[in-house]
């Protein structure tokens, strides 16, 4: 199954994957279970754009994640569920149990009217039912659209309406550290503006006493008892939809990225096994939420298709104390630990006793994802968590890519702090200059594109193929544009330098400036807003909003609070601006375009050289903004 064990293997496999991509990927795909093998490996055209992998292949991804492990590993733990509260017991769910739960959940969805091709919105906390619901959709060919349980009613409603979901799966609430959140109430508010929703399935969890709406809402625990545990998997075409997952765009509403069954399965399986060098029997923990792509690909599909034991953590790193991660690593003897730079940086601040208390000697591989990891955090992670003995894999990828793209292979690729290192087999990066030309050779810098398809890539934006083309395939025609900048050093190693578009990555979460701006504008006193990112010690980047009001605010602090609440209500707490500066005007060009370059400099606290401002309609506004900078 295309196993890489040495750097020479990597070089050899990489070469093969470039010279004969179709042979390479069909070898990989042959390691998985198919109902029917493909007639053709690949058809593609990045101008249309159109990409199809394993054409004519038939499969069900859950047969690879569940059924195929039952013959020999039915009693192996598939999921270790670590609850929010460390005083409660963890749960070990075997492959056999997971299989049965998924089949029952699938039958429950069917009984509630879900059919192949329907889009099911899942809004659940990190409890086992979230995994059951996702896999149950895949089992019956329904398309899951998971919405992170920190999003607001408005954000859920937008996603339900965009996908045309008919069924929502939620719970009566969630625990988050010492807080509880009433998810059902949020769903009730959301579905008021979602005419497509006919059923809401509610998992009773925190016993919040959430009322059910008769005719629409049903209890999970009641319906599940009415169905059998026998649910044959639906046969899916390789290019049938597996899921939609929304990600912020630099303009307009979030984009529903579409992933399909065959290519995504092959890619997540391959990249999981290869990058982490997963060995049978190891315990693997990705701390992401299943509401993000990291959780889809590397808590569920990648690990389960590889027969791994994957930890699912309900809680947060800081509660009841900053030792929570390290405690769980000791408790479950975790071998591979995968988290985000923002979590590393926040835990770095805590007294070292919170780490020293725990035995971390089981660890072999440490991963990082979500944003560039700064050198300091990289070294801290290596020294204090890895004890200098673990491979550190900094994985660069995106919701759109489905799986890892540029990442070291654990204990195979020589590491360089803060570098995502080299492309994985099958990935062909190209660095472009602003003039649109590819820059060859090493020791170069530019915009990161990918010039050849890989099986895990998103196929379209749900309902808006034109936007897919415009966003990813028009800036550099014939190439997939990532939106990221990068350096390729003298050794050909890649370092991702961050977004070059209007997306801000806050604590590893993608936020579009346009989306935040329109949320701030919803406040009745606000006329216009411009949002930029600024460096933040823990979050990586944070949100800085420049706000024009109809009249000078009487109580600026109070208004700031109200604006933050507005953003929280419309998008979710993650998008709240850290800094809000009230201004009387914004630096606009004569054609009305906001010069964000200037605002970024002000937000970064670097106003010594703002560059040429003579093209501004009103250069005086810059002085006022500089003077009021926070």
> For 389-411, b where at least 16 C-beta lie within 10 A, e where not — what string?
ebbbbbbbbbbbbbbbbbbbbbe
Q: Which of 370, 629, 388 is nearest to 509 (CA)?
A: 370
> Quick one: 371 or 502, whose CB is closer to ligand PRX?
371
Q: Residue 199 Cβ, how far from ligand PRX at the closest point, in Å? A: 30
> Quick one: 295 or 587, whose CB is closer to ligand PRX?
295
Q: Which stretch binds ligand PRX (CB under 6 A): 261-269, 481-489, 554-562, 614-622?
A: 481-489
Contact between residue 301 and residue 264 where contact means Cβ atoms under 8 Å apart: yes
Q: Residue 546 Cβ, how far from ligand PRX at the closest point, in Å? A: 23
Q: Residue 317 Cβ, how far from ligand PRX at the closest point, in Å? A: 17
Q: Which stretch binds ligand PRX (CB under 6 A): 29-37, 155-163, 480-488, 541-549?
A: 480-488
Site string for ligand PRX, 203-242 (x = CB under 6 A): ----------------------------------------
> Quick one: 57 or 249, whose CB is closer to ligand PRX?
249
> For 3-15, b where at least 16 C-beta lie within 10 A, e where not — what string?
ebeeeeebeebbe
> Quick one: 24 or 246, whose CB is closer to ligand PRX?
246
> Quick one: 131 or 369, whose CB is closer to ligand PRX?
369
Q: Which stretch binds ligand PRX (CB under 6 A): 263-271, 358-366, 451-459, 478-486?
A: 478-486
Residue of the chain from 496, 532, 545, 559 that contacts ligand PRX (CB under 6 A):
496
Residue 484 phi/psi, 5-degree rounding, is: -105, 155
Q: Which long-range contacts (CB under 8 A, 24 or more apart) does 379-382 make?
A: 379/417, 380/344, 380/348, 381/344, 382/417
Q: Residue 149 Cβ, how far from ligand PRX at the closest point, in Å? A: 16
> Quick one: 217 or 371, whose CB is closer to ligand PRX?
371
* Contact residues for 264 (Cβ-Cβ < 8 A; gap 6+): 61, 242, 297, 301, 402, 403, 455, 456
Alpha-carbon distance 219 to 235, whole Å?
A: 29
* H-helix or E-strand spanning residue 16: helix 7-19
> Quick one: 101 or 394, whose CB is closer to ligand PRX?
394
Q: Residue 608 Cβ, how far from ligand PRX at the closest point, in Å? A: 27
Site string for ligand PRX, 363-402 (x = CB under 6 A): -----xxxxx---------------------xxxxxx---
Residue of the chain from 118, 289, 382, 484 that contacts ligand PRX (CB under 6 A):
484
Alpha-carbon distance 99 to 234, whole Å?
A: 15
Q: Residue 3 Cβ, how far from ligand PRX at the closest point, in Å? A: 24
Q: How many CA atoms lie within 13 A of 266 on its CB side?
A: 31
Q: Residue 76 Cβ, how far from ligand PRX at the closest point, in Å? A: 27
E strands of 195-261, at which residues? Answer: 199-203, 217-219, 236-237, 241-247, 255-260
Residue 612, class by beta-carbon neighbours within 10 Å (0-12 exposed, 13-18 middle, 19+ buried)? exposed
What the block records as the tokens of 309 is 């034991």
Residue of the chain from 247, 268, 269, 475 that contacts ligand PRX (CB under 6 A):
247
**What residues pair up with 144 in beta bridges, in sequence order?**
120, 243
Q: What does the DSSP assignment read for 536-561?
A: ETTTEEEEEEEEEESS--SSHHHHHH
Alpha-carbon distance 438 to 452, whole Å?
A: 14
Alpha-carbon distance 35 to 15, whole Å?
A: 30
**What residues pair up with 46 in beta bridges, in sequence order?**
none
Alpha-carbon distance 540 to 496, whole Å?
A: 14
Q: Residue 5 Cβ, how far from ligand PRX at the closest point, in Å? A: 24
SS3 state at 215: coil
Q: Residue 483 Cβ, how far from ligand PRX at the closest point, in Å? A: 6
> Quick one: 262 or 370, whose CB is closer to ligand PRX?
370
CA torsion angle for 584, 588, 591, 597 (degrees, to 10)? -160
Binding to ligand PRX, residues 49-108 (CB under 6 A): none
> Quick one: 187 or 369, whose CB is closer to ligand PRX?
369
> Quick one: 351 or 414, whose CB is closer to ligand PRX?
414
Which residue in the shown chain puts its C-beta closest to ligand PRX? 399
Site string for ligand PRX, 331-370 (x = CB under 6 A): -------------------------------------xxx
Q: Residue 614 Cβ, how far from ligand PRX at the closest point, in Å? A: 33
Q: Residue 297 Cβ, how far from ligand PRX at the closest point, in Å? A: 8
> Quick one: 247 or 513, whose CB is closer to ligand PRX?
247
> For 505-528, b where at least 16 C-beta lie within 10 A, e where not — what string?
bbbbbbbbbbbbbbbbbebeebeb
Size of the site for ligand PRX (CB under 6 A): 22
Q: Which stretch binds ligand PRX (CB under 6 A): 121-129, 459-467, 479-487, 577-585?
A: 479-487
Contact between residue 53 and residue 262 where contact means Cβ atoms under 8 Å apart: yes
Residue 530 phi/psi, 5-degree rounding, is: -130, 135
Alpha-carbon distance 162 to 466, whole Å?
A: 15
Binding to ligand PRX, residues 499-538 (CB under 6 A): 499, 505, 510
Binding to ligand PRX, residues 275-304 (CB under 6 A): 293-294
> Quick one: 487 or 569, whose CB is closer to ligand PRX?
487
**What residues pair up with 450 in beta bridges, in sequence order?**
429, 480
> Quick one: 104 or 255, whose CB is closer to ligand PRX?
255
Residue 471 binding ligand PRX, by CB under 6 A: no
Residue of the chain from 197, 420, 586, 594 that contacts ligand PRX (CB under 6 A):
420
Q: Residue 96 Cβ, how far from ligand PRX at the closest point, in Å? A: 31
* H-helix or E-strand spanning residue 152: none
Q: Residue 406 Cβ, how far from ligand PRX at the closest point, in Å? A: 8
Q: Residue 592 Cβ, how far from ligand PRX at the closest point, in Å? A: 28
Residue 483 binding ligand PRX, by CB under 6 A: yes
SS3 state at 481: strand
Q: Residue 398 Cβ, how far from ligand PRX at the closest point, in Å? A: 4
* Interacting residues with ligand PRX (CB under 6 A): 247, 293-294, 368-372, 394-399, 420, 482-484, 496, 499, 505, 510
């Amino acid at each position: 199954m295309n196993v890489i064990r040495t750097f020479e293997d990597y070089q050899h496999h990489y070469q093969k994957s470039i010279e004969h991509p179709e042979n390479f990927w069909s070898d990989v795909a042959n390691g998985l279970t198919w109902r029917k093998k493909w007639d053709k490996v690949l058809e593609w055209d990045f101008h249309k754009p159109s990409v199809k992998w394993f054409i004519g292949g038939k499969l069900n991804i859950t047969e690879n994640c569940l059924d195929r492990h039952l013959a020999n590993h039915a009693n192996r733990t598939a999921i270790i569920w670590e609850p929010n509260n460390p005083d409660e017991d963890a749960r070990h769910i075997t492959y056999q149990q997971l299989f049965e739960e998924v089949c029952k959940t699938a039958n429950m969805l069917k009984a509630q009217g879900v059919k192949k091709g329907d889009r099911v919105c899942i809004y659940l906390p990190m409890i086992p039912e979230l995994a059951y619901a996702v896999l149950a959709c895949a089992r019956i060919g329904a398309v899951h659209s998971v919405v992170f349980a920190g999003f607001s009613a408005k954000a859920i409603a937008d996603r339900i309406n965009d996908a045309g979901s008919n069924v929502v799966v939620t719970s009566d609430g969630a625990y988050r550290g010492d807080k509880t959140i009433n998810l059902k109430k949020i769903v009730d508010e959301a579905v008021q503006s979602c005419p497509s929703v006919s059923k809401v399935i509610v998992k009773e969890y925190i016993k919040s006493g959430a009322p059910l709406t008769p005719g629409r809402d049903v209890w999970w625990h009641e319906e599940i008892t009415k169905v059998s545990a026998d649910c044959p998997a639906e046969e899916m075409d390789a290019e049938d939809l597996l899921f939609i997952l929304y990600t912020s765009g630099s303009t307009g509403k979030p984009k529903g990225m579409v992933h399909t069954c065959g290519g995504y399965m092959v890619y997540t399986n391959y990249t999981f096994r290869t990058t982490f060098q997963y060995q049978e029997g190891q315990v693997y923990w990705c701390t992401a939420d299943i509401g993000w792509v990291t959780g889809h690909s590397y808590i569920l599909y990648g690990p389960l298709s590889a027969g791994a034991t994957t930890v699912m953590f309900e809680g947060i790193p800081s509660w009841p104390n900053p030792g929570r991660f390290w405690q769980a690593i000791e408790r479950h003897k975790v071998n591979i630990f995968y988290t985000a730079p923002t979590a590393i940086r926040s835990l770095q601040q805590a007294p070292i006793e919170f780490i020293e208390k725990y035995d971390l000697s089981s660890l072999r591989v440490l991963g990082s994802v979500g944003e560039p990891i700064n050198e300091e955090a990289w070294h801290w992670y290596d020294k204090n968590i890895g004890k200098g003995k673990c491979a550190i894999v900094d994985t660069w990828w995106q919701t759109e890519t489905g799986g890892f793209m540029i990442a070291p292979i654990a204990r195979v690729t020589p590491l360089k702090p803060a570098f995502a290192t080299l492309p994985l087999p099958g990935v062909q990066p190209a660095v472009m200059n602003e003039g649109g030309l590819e820059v060859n050779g090493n020791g170069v810098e530019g915009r990161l594109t990918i010039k050849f398809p890989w099986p895990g890539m998103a196929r379209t934006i749900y309902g808006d193929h034109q936007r897919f083309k415009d966003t990813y395939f028009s800036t550099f025609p014939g190439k997939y544009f990532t939106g990221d900048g990068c350096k390729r050093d003298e050794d050909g190693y890649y370092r991702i330098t961050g977004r070059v578009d209007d997306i801000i990555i806050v604590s590893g979460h993608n936020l579009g400036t346009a989306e935040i701006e329109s949320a701030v504008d919803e406040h009745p006193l606000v006329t216009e807003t411009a949002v930029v990112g600024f460096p933040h010690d823990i979050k990586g980047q944070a949100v800085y909003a420049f706000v024009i009001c109809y009249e000078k605010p009487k109580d600026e602090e109070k208004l700031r609070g109200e604006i933050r609440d507005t953003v929280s209500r419309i998008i979710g707490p993650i998008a709240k601006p850290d800094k809000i500066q009230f201004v009387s005007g914004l630096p606009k060009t004569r054609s009305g375009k906001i010069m964000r370059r200037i605002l970024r400099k002000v937000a970064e606290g670097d106003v010594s050289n703002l560059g040429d401002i003579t093209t501004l309609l009103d250069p005086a506004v810059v002085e006022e903004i500089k003077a009021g900078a926070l």
